[in-house]
Structure 1
Amino acid sequence: MMNYLFLFIVITFPIICLDTKNQCLHFVPPSFEIGHKRSNLKKYITGAHEYVRKKPCDRREIQIVNASAGNAEHAEHARDAGDPQAKDISAMMSFPNYETIDIEDIRNILPHRYPFLLVDKVIHVQASRKIIGIKQVSVNENFFNGHFPEKPIMPGVLQIEALAQLGGILCLKNEENRKENNVFLFAGVDGVRWKKPVRPGDTLVMESELISFKPSLGVAKLRGIAYVDGTVVIKIDEMTFAMPK
């Protein structure tokens, strides 16, 4: 009798368990299942926060669905940069619709033209507060012919100019500021730090944030930052713009 019991435990029982598992049934205590699900939820939320920290481009408010409570919690502002890891949390995110500005509308706002128009598209606008735009850095950019032929790098001053143009769009987007063909002139820049070279093929994701704006004086101050693949390449503490009288 003991021999039969031994054979059942050693041979037959594992086969039954294996077949049951293949049918998506598991001999797992309910408490373990609940803990496992909570662990996964915590992993997703932690992953979302880590994603926000590592990929701070194109900020968008996300909601993480709390599976245990059945409601939604607001996570931090995230920036979707197309990272494959985003697939892990995509089912638990909802994105509000932000205003965008295409190249034709940018040309209607800024007086700049090729080869000195350095903003390809605006992907996020918060009126009188913040703006996010992109610049696709092509190998055909004319400045690469001399900077440098053997090791092409986007000039740092043009990175500043691109952020300044983005800030100009934010200030001039208001119809009142844009009347009579007003133009914001670059009046000063402070606290510029370059972190990493920008090369052909890079997508420069730029953000300009309004610090202050005095319409009566025609003076605006903004800060700027830009990223490539989620890594900061340039940071500007303050840019000053002046509208000529």
Structure 2
Amino acid sequence: MSEAGETSAQTLETIDIMRIMQMIPHRYPMLLVDRVVDLIGGESATGIKNVSINEPFFQGHFPSYPVMPGVLIVEAMAQTAGVVVIKMLGNEAEGRLVYFMSIEDCRFRKPVVPGDQMRIHVKKERGRANVWKFHCVAKVEGALAAEATVTAMILDR
């Protein structure tokens, strides 16, 4: 194996739900990321959301045709990006609050429905001090479901 291949393999990381809950303050029903894979600290990651009919929002959105609300897809993107930021900042940043500053160029391409596994790819565009900007793409079975650029600020509680 080449040295470059070894470096790539060493930089990828997986974070399970228990570790995610240590890193970000969200909890059910607002915790919208089940696992983070392919994490390259401070740069990019893929969040996984297993969408279940048991999600509380499906009771009203929509009872006859359950569709995951777009705003929650964007929230899942932001939570995935938050894990990337916390990983970069280190353990002392765990549990800090992340607030949206802007959501740009948001597009919804395909409904996300119960039984889907949404894979949320986030990549840092900019990060300065406590403000971060990420390009985010959500896919289901490789098909684009949504995309957006999110900017957020991380603050102490």
Q: Same fold (TM over 0.5)?
A: yes
Kept in 1, the 8 Å contact 2:46–2:80? The answer is yes
Q: How does 1:52-201 map to 2 (within 5 A)?
A: 96=9, 98-173=12-87, 174-175=89-90, 178=93, 181-201=95-115
Query: Aligned equivalents of 2:90 and 2:29: distance in 1?
Result: 26
Residue 243 (str. 1) matches residue 154 (str. 2): yes
Which residue of the partner structure matches residue 229 of structure 1? 141
What's the offset of the Cα at 1:176?
A: 6.4
Structure 1: 4+ residue segments shifted above 4 A:
none
Tell me if the contact between 1:171 and 1:177 (Cα under 8 Å) persists in the aligned partners: no
Deviation sequence 1:2-58 (CA, Å, 0-9, x none): xxxxxxxxxxxxxxxxxxxxxxxxxxxxxxxxxxxxxxxxxxxxxxxxxxxxxxxxx
More helix by share: 1
Distance 1:158 1:131 in 2: 18
| CA distance in structure 2 between the aligned counterparts of 1:150 and 1:101, rounded to whole angstroms | 35
- State the shift of 1:243 in Å: 2.2
Q: TM-score, normalised to structure 2's length?
A: 0.89
Give the drift of 1:124.
Answer: 1.1
Count the aligned residue pairs: 149
**1:88 alignment partner in structure 2:** none
- Name the % identity: 37
Amino acid at match of 2:86: L
CA distance in 2, matches of 1:235, 1:182: 25
TM-score, scaled to structure 1: 0.58
- Root-mean-square deviation (CA, aligned residues, Å) is 1.9
Paired with 1:108 and 1:184, the residues of 2 have a C-alpha distance of 14
- Relative CO higher for 1 or 2, CA cutoff 8 Å, sep ≥ 6? 2
- Among 121, 128, 135, the residue aligned to 1:207: 121
Structure in which a larger fraction of residues adopt strand: 2
Larger radius of gyration: 1
Unaligned runs of 5+ in 1: 1-62, 64-71, 73-94
